[in-house]
Amino acid sequence: MAYQISKLIEKHSKVVCVQSKSSLSEVVELMLENDFSQIPVVEFSDNPLGERMGKPVGIITTEDVLQAMDEFQSPITSFNAYNAMQTPTI
């Protein structure tokens, strides 16, 4: 059975992302709130016209979170998205 993209858009109508400096606990909270298994990491800057633009710099999956917790042997409150994200983005 094919999944209709319109159903996905209805369910997740807002764009959700984090910055590399975002706490990993914030990342997990957003994943849980939005029922996501992965979330993009974006860095923001102003373009020459003064518009705020986001550039994807990585992605974090639930597996990445678990690996980071295991590797650092610390709770997720002690590090940020940069420590767990995969680069480059596809």
pLDDT digits over 21-53, tens only?
999 999 999 999 988 999 999 998 888 888 888
The percentage of residues in the chain with a pLDDT greater than 70, rounded to a whole number, is: 83
| CA atoms of 50 and 28, how far apart (whole Å) | 31
At 47, list the tokens.
């373009």
Contact (Cβ atoms closer than 8 angstroms) between residue 37 and residue 13: no
| Predicted pLDDT at 74 | 80
| Predicted pLDDT at 70 | 87
Closest alpha carbon to 27 in 77, 89, 70: 77
pLDDT over 80 (residue 17): yes
Place of tokens 């639930």: 62
Contact (Cβ atoms closer than 8 angstroms) between residue 66 and residue 24: no
- Higher confidence at residue 14 or residue 55? 55
Contact (Cβ atoms closer than 8 angstroms) between residue 31 and residue 61: no
| CA atoms of 57 and 34, how far apart (whole Å) | 21
pLDDT over 80 (residue 90): no
